[in-house]
Amino acid sequence: MDKQHRNVLVLSGTQATLQITGVTMVAITGLAGYALADNKSFATVPLTCYVLGSAITTIPASFLMKAIGRRAGFQTGTSIGMVGAAICSFAVYIANFWLLCAGMMVMGMYAAFGKYYRFAAADAATDSFRAKAISFTLAGGILGGIVGPEMAKRTKDLFAEHVFLGSYLSLIGVCLLATLILTRLDIPQLAEHERKAPGRPLAVIMRQPVFIVAVLASMLSYGIMNLMMTSTPLAMRAHDHHFNDAAFVLEWHVIGMFGPSFFTGSLINRFGVLKVILAGIALMLACIVAALAGTALINFWVAMFLLGVGWNFMYVGGSALLTECYTPSERAKTQAANDFMIFVTMAISSMSSGLLLNKSGWHAVNWGSLPFLALATGATFWLMWRRRAQPAASAPTVVE
């Protein structure tokens, strides 16, 4: 097995651990927040703190990895994850809502490092393998769809007087496993001249049409997905569905998110990245239709599965498109800007999710997603038009 394929295998494994952590937290944290919060409208605030922790760490994480390399940087992230899981565990043990929020913010810092797994795979891949490297790395997340909900179900009642304590404690072990897997990662650091070269100003990079559409595809797919996924366990609880039903729906949602990654890269190579992004938008629209059609278990299941597949096409497409925007010396700041905007969008959608659900109900959460899908659609067609009118405009400007 050559180095680029081995690195993808390692990063796919760490993506699996990242997603196990993420799915477990989504399954339990809204409910834990609801149990601990005096004001039930604040139930999703811990999840919002998770996203805020990611947002404030995204930029320093990228520049740290530029300085010390991918493996050391990622292992710094998993160490932070163990600390965050310990804080969350203690918060549940003493029933302190705001300490849970603090622990989730630290867990978000860990996630900020983990979100660069896909870019690490792409940066170490050949041009022809790049889209597949991103896609195959994300495919590891399918394990999270299977293990995460099951782990949440089996660990939430391990301590009878402290519901969810066992779930948070289990995340310490998951982060430790990720640390061990990362010892097999072999991505060379940037050459000294690449680390020191300033490249183009970030403002110039961000004005590229390709950058604009890439970021919109990634951040809107994540924002819409987060808006709906965060509120799903609470919405199902409000409509008298059992916790195990919510775990089942989340399991299939995550399978939808990462299962297509086994072929999304091939679809991009065959049909083009913009057509794959548009297919993702269409699937998200179908998700909203299914969610608005009713509140039976089948509606939640179909909607969340379609949401996952739609997210995959938009997010993998956006990530692949972004790699056209920068040179090696510009990599850290471009990737950091992209992921920072994703996490800010996620923070807004996370907070909006709880407020919309509590004040206006599940249907409001779904209707609120439509304007953002319209924006993503318009931007994608705009870039398609530009590429047909000016083929040279699709090529990244490379400045040595």
For the record, the structure tokens of 299 come out as 């509606």
Q: Is the pLDDT confidence value at 351 over 90?
A: no
Q: Which of 151, 339, 351 is nearest to 251 (CA)?
A: 151
**302 within 8 A of 290, measured Cβ to Cβ:** yes
CA distance 283 to 373: 11
Q: Is the pLDDT confidence value at 400 over 50?
A: no
pLDDT value, residue 96: 95
pLDDT digits (tens, 9 = 90+) for 284-325: 999 999 999 998 999 999 999 999 999 999 999 999 999 999
For the record, the structure tokens of 62 come out as 């990228």
pLDDT value, residue 395: 46
CA distance 295 to 241: 10
Share of the chain above pLDDT 70, in %: 95
pLDDT value, residue 391: 60
Share of the chain above pLDDT 90, in %: 56
Q: Is the pLDDT confidence value at 397 over 60?
A: no
| pTM (two decimals) | 0.80
pLDDT value, residue 194: 67
pLDDT value, residue 158: 87
pLDDT digits (tens, 9 = 90+) for 150-179: 888 888 888 878 889 999 999 999 999 999
DSSP E strands in 98-164: the ranges are: none
Looking at 91-100, 323-332, 353-362, which range is the least confident one? 353-362
Residue type, 155: T
Read off the pLDDT of each residue in 88-115 and give the average, rounded to a whole number. 95
Confidence of residue 242 (pLDDT cuts 50, 70, 90): confident
Q: Which of 319, 324, 344 is nearest to 112 (CA)?
A: 344
Q: Is the pLDDT confidence value at 393 over 70?
A: no
- Please report the domains of the chain, with CATH numbers, ordered by start residue: 3-394 (1.20.1250.20)
User: What's the whole-number average pLDDT of the chain?
Assistant: 88
